[in-house]
């Protein structure tokens, strides 16, 4: 963490998220932009009206800390070797509630978000750098979230 910002207090502006990476409306606040950590990117994400992430993985691990509502994390197993068009199978589903903390290892296909259309679900997402001074990357996919992946999203 940048020592110069330890005692600063500032409002966190919403970050413009790519809407094609989510199944519905979300807001994301870039906490990293304020505190400038050196080993991770940190966001506070709110999923509205049952919104979820699309299928994706991170080059470094990701930790989620639930701050509001009920949601879920679904881990997938990739079937086949094709990079862009392949089958998937759900390998684990974890229900999430306020105070829960989960870690998703690097390169694990997953999705997370709200499970309720009537209330918002929020979490802090901490995306770890895969190597020193190498920012994390996220690879997003178009998928039915059940059986198949059809393309990489840009």
Please check whether residue 109 lies inside any domain of the structure: yes
Please check whether residue 84 lies inside any domain of the structure: yes
Q: Is 146 exposed, middle or buried (0-12, 13-18, 19+ CB in 10 A)?
A: exposed
pLDDT, residue 5, reads 46
Please check whether residue 55 lies inside any domain of the structure: yes
Q: In the chain, which residue ranges form alpha helices assigned H by DSSP?
A: 32-35
What does the block give as tokens for 25?
């409306």
Please check whether residue 1 lies inside any domain of the structure: no
Domain containing residue 66: 12-153
Per-residue pLDDT of the chain (154 residues; tens, 9 = 90+): 444 444 445 577 777 678 899 999 999 999 999 999 999 999 999 999 999 999 999 999 999 999 999 999 999 999 999 988 999 999 999 999 999 999 999 999 999 999 988 889 999 999 999 999 999 999 999 999 999 999 999 8
Please check whether residue 127 lies inside any domain of the structure: yes
Q: In 17-114, which residue ranges form alpha helices assigned H by DSSP?
A: 32-35
Separation of alpha carbons 140 and 154, rounded Å? 8
pLDDT, residue 32, reads 93
Please check whether residue 2 lies inside any domain of the structure: no
Task: Indicate which CATH number applies to the domain containing 82.
Answer: 2.60.120.10
Separation of alpha carbons 102 and 38, rounded Å? 21
How many structural domains comprise the chain? 1
Separation of alpha carbons 56 and 34, rounded Å? 26
pLDDT, residue 141, reads 97
Of 40, 45, 29, nearest to 2 (Cα)? 40
Please check whether residue 6 lies inside any domain of the structure: no
The 3-state DSSP class for residue 67 equals strand
Report the predicted TM-score, pTM, of the whole model to 2 decimal places.
Answer: 0.90
pLDDT, residue 10, reads 59
């Amino acid at each position: 963490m940048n020592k110069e910002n330890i005692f600063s207090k500032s409002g966190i502006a919403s970050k413009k998220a790519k809407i094609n990476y989510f199944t519905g409306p979300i807001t994301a606040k870039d906490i990293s932009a304020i505190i400038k950590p050196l080993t991770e990117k940190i966001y506070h994400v709110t999923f509205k009206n049952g919104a979820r992430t699309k299928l994706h993985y991170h080059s470094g691990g990701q930790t989620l800390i639930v701050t509001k509502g009920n949601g879920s994390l679904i881990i997938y197993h990739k079937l086949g070797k094709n990079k862009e068009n392949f089958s998937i199978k759900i390998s684990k589903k974890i229900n999430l509630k306020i105070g829960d903390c989960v870690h998703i290892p690097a390169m694990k296909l997953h999705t997370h978000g709200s499970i309720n259309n009537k209330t918002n679900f929020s979490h802090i997402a901490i995306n770890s750098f895969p190597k020193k001074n190498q920012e994390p990357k996220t690879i997003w996919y178009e998928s039915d979230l059940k059986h198949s992946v059809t393309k990489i999203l840009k």
